[in-house]
Chain A
C-alpha cells in the first residue's frame, strides 16, 4: 500500500493508505481525529473542512495521497497547548453559534479561513456568502454570522474600519 507523510496539528505522521482513501478517512480512521465530520459525501455540507497548508479544504474531496507533504490543521489543533481557545472557537461559544455541534468543526475552520482572507474587513453579506459551502441545520446561521463578525477584530487585533 502506498504511504503518505504529512503533518497534522504540528505532528508528523507516515501512514499507509489505499489509493482511494480520502483525507477525512485518514484523519478520522487512521489518526483518530474524529472532530472532523462527514455529513454528506458529495462536498456539499462542509462538516469535513480542515486547513491544508493554511487554506480551508473539504477533506472528503481530497485524497489522502494528495496531502503528502502538507501541513494539515484540524479542529483539534486550533487551541493552544495550554487549552486557550482560538478566538473563533471562543466567539462561537459566546454567541451561541452552535447547537448540536456536528457542523461546528467545519464551520469554525471555514470561518477562520474566511476572516484570514479578508484583512480589509467583512460585511454581513460577505460572511453569509462565505459560508455557502457549509450547512447548518440547527441555528439558522444567525448566530454563526454574529460569531464570525465578533471574531474578526480579535483575529486581526483591530476593529474593522467603518464603511
Chain B
C-alpha cells in the first residue's frame, strides 16, 4: 500500500489541531505557576492629563494585596524601546520620546498604564485597583492627525515639536513635478485609511517567574517573536542578560501583528516576580485589549496621478499623514514609510513617484503593524486612485490596469521607490480572477438585482505586496535596529526521527504542519517522523519570529539550508560506510546511494552511525547529525494578484452584502494548499471587515468610543460570503523554495476591491469615492441625499 503523499503540495491535515479541538491547547492564561500572584493594571481613563499624585494607601491595605507599584517604584528601569529609526527629509533622526513602562508625569492616552496592583487573586487585585486615588489635571487632547498638526494643538511630548515624529520622503520630486507639468490628464483623490483594532481572539497575557536560587527569570507571554522580546526587554528595559532570561510564547491565539511588540505588561510581570519572589500573572480583559494593543492603519492621504492621453501613468504624487499614537510602538515608524511608500508602484510601471509621509503623535493608543502593515494602505490608495482615474478619463477599469501593468518579461523590475521586484505575472492573475468571478456575466446579474430593487456593483484590485522583509544589511541602512534573518536547527535523532527548531512562531498559521511537510519532503522521511518546535528561547536558536508573511520565505529557507548541511554531512558518512568517494554518493528520497549501484544507506542508518560512531571517519568528521543554519534573504518577496468583489446594496437600509468574492493570488510555491486557502480566506475576512464594518473611533477629546465588541464591529459569519481562492504562481527567484508568503495577501488585496465594488454599485448616484468603512449609514445618506443622475 502506498503511503499518502504528505510532501510539498499536499493538503495535509494539521498536526496541531487535535489539541485545539479537544480543549488541550496551552495558551498563556491556561497556565498557572505554583504560589502565583495576580497583577491588575490600573489604566488612565483620561486621554491627556498631568499625573499629580497617586494615593495607594487604601489599595495597599485591601484584602489579599501583596504590593502596589507606580512609576516612582520603577526608577532605574528603562523605557520601552523602538526598533526602527526613521530620518527626516533633512537627515536628522525622528523624534523619539520616552515610553515609560508606567506613565510618569503625564498620561497620554486612554489605557496608558498608571499603576499595578498585585494580589492573591485576580478579583482582589482588581478590587484594590479601584481604591487607588489618582490625582489628574486634565490637559487638552488631540486624537486625529489633522488636529494634531494644527497650530496651537495640544502637545504630547517636549521631544516632538508640533507633535511631529518625522517628516519623510521617498522618490524623485523633480521628475514627478515635470511629469505632472506635461500630463494630458491628472487625477486627484483625498482618502483616509481607517484605524483598526486587531482583536486577536486571545487577549494578551503574561506570567513572570523567578528562581532566586539561580537568578533565572522566565516570562510566558502571548508573543509572535519570543527572542525579540527577550532581547528588547532584557537589554533595554530590565537589564537582564540573555542567559538569565527565558521567554516562552506557547500556543498563541492569533496575533495579526498586535503580538509582535514589546509591551509594558511583559516587563511589569517579570520585574514584579523577581521583586516579590513569586510568579505573577496578568491577563488582559478585552477592554484592555482595545485600549492597549497596538492599533493599525490610520492614514489621511492625498494622491495624484498624471496620465498621458492614452491612459499611461506618468507619475504619482502622494502626501500622507499617519498616526503614531501617543508613543512609538516597537516597529510603528517603519510601517508608513518602508512598508507603505515603497509599495506605491504597485503592479504598475509608473516611471516617477514621490511620496511625503508625516508621522504624528496623538492622544491615542500607539499604532503599529496590523495584518498587511503599510501595504494595505498602499494598495487601497493606489487601487482606488486607478479606479477613479478610469472613471475620470472614461476608460475601462480593466483596460487601464492592463495598459499599465509591468509586463511579465520585465523582471527583475526596478521601481522608482527603491524596491526591485523579482517575478510576477499580473495578467495571469487578473484573467484567472475575472474568469472565476465571471466578470463578463456581471451586467446580467446587475440587471437581475435591479429588477429586485437592489443595487449591484463589481470591483477589482490588482495589488502587489512585499514580504519577508530583508536583507538585514539593507533594512539596517533604512533604520532597522535588528537583523531580519531567520534560523533553523534540524536535529536528526539516532533512530532517524527529526526535530526542527525554528525561530519563527506559529499562532494560527499551521507551521507545525507546513514545516514538517517541508523538512519531511527534503529529507525523505515520513511526515509523522518530523516534529516542529518553536516559541521557547530556552529551546530554539536566536530567530526573529513571525510577521510580514516571512515564516516560510525566510524561516523555510533557513530549513532548506540546514537540510543541505545534514545531507552534506550524511554523504560523507555514507561514503565512509559504503567505501565510496563522497562525490559519488547521491541523496534522494531519504537514501544515500553510490551512483550507478544499488549500494545505499538510509538516513536512519546514517544517523545511528553518527551518534554511535564505532565505524566512523572520526578524524575528519564530528559525531552527531544536528545542523543549524541562518538565512538572510537577498530581497523581499513580492506576492500579488487580483481580487474581485461583487456586492449588493439594499437601498432601503444602505446595507452592503458581499455576494461573491474571488481572490487569485501569486504566493509563489505552495507547500500546503489547504493552509494557504485558509490564510487567504482569513485575510480577506479582515479586509472585508475593514472595508465595511470595522472602525476605531475616538471623540475629539481622545476617548475611545469603539472600546468593546458592542461598539467595534467585528466581522461575523453572517457578514461574510464564501470566499473563492485560487493561486496562479510565479516562483520567487531568490529563495531556495520559490515561495513568497500568503499570510497578508487577503487583507491587502481585498479592501480596495470591496470599495471599488460599492462605488460601482452607487455609480448612478454620482459617487466617486467612499472612505472605509462603507457603513449602512454612510450609504443610506448618499442614496437619500443625492439626486439620481441616471434616468430610468
Write the residues of chain A forming the contact surface with B, with a CB cutoff of 8 angstroms.
18, 20, 28, 33-42, 44-45, 47, 74-76, 78-79, 85, 89, 92-94, 96, 98-105, 108, 124-125, 127-129, 131-132, 134-145
Chain B residues contacting A99 (CB-CB under 8 Å) are 254, 508-510, 678-679, 682
- Which of the residues B22, B253, B507, B684 comes within 8 Å of A85, measured between beta carbons? B22
Given contacts A89-B22, A142-B681, contact A34 B30 (CB under 8 A): yes
- Sampled A-B contacts (21; CB under 8 Å): A37-B27, A41-B286, A42-B708, A75-B21, A76-B23, A78-B22, A93-B21, A96-B14, A99-B254, A99-B510, A101-B19, A102-B202, A108-B21, A127-B717, A128-B718, A137-B199, A137-B254, A138-B201, A140-B715, A141-B685, A145-B722
Q: In which size bucket is the chain B interface?
A: 35 or more
Q: Which secondary structure dominates chain A's binding surface? A: loop
Chain B residues at the A interface, C-beta cutoff of 8 Å: 13-14, 16-25, 27, 29-30, 123, 199-203, 251-254, 256, 285-287, 507-510, 674-675, 677-679, 681-686, 708-710, 714-718, 720, 722-723, 746
Are B681 and A140 in contact (CB-based, < 8 A)?
A: yes
Given known pairs A42-B286, A45-B709, the reply for A98 and B20 (CB within 8 Å) is yes
Q: Which residues of B contact A104 (CB under 8 A)?
A: 20-21
Whole-angstrom distance between the Cβ of B30 and the nearest chain A Cβ: 4
Beyond A41-B286, A137-B200, is A79–B22 a contact (Cβ under 8 Å)? yes
Q: Are A132 and B682 in contact (CB under 8 A)?
A: no
Least Cβ–Cβ distance between B742 and chain A, in angstroms: 13
Assess whether A74 is in contact with B201, with CB atoms less than 8 Å apart: no
Choose among B17, B202, B254 the residue that contacts A92 (Cβ–Cβ < 8 A).
B17
Q: Lowest 10 CB-CB distances: which A-B pairs, in order?
A: A35-B23, A102-B253, A101-B20, A140-B685, A100-B508, A75-B23, A44-B709, A99-B508, A34-B30, A131-B717
Judging by beta carbons under 8 Å apart, are A20 and B123 in contact? yes
B709 contacts A132, C-beta separation under 8 Å = no
> B661 CB to closest chain A CB, in angstroms?
9
Q: How far is the CB of A111 from chain B (nearest CB, A)?
A: 11
Q: Tell me which of A39, A41, A140 contacts B202 (CB under 8 A).
A: A39
A74: nearest chain-B partner, CB-CB: B23
Chain B residues, CB < 8 A from A89: 21-22
A20: B residues at CB distance < 8 A: 123
Besides the contacts A132-B716, A139-B682, what 10 more A-B pairs have beta carbons closer than 8 Å?
Answer: A28-B30, A42-B708, A98-B17, A100-B201, A100-B254, A100-B507, A135-B716, A137-B256, A138-B254, A140-B686
Query: Cβ of A47: which chain B residues have Cβ within 8 Å of it?
Result: 201
Are B722 and A142 interface neighbours, CB within 8 A? Answer: yes
Give the one of B29, B202, B708 with max A CB within 10 A.
Answer: B202
CA distance A28 to B512 in the complex (A): 27
CA–CA, A92 and B20, complex, Å: 10
Which chain B residue shows the least CB distance to A98? B20
A100, B723: Cβ atoms under 8 Å? no
CB of B101, distance to nearest CB on chain A (Å):
25
Question: In the complex, what residue of chain A is closest to B17 when comparing beta carbons?
Answer: A93
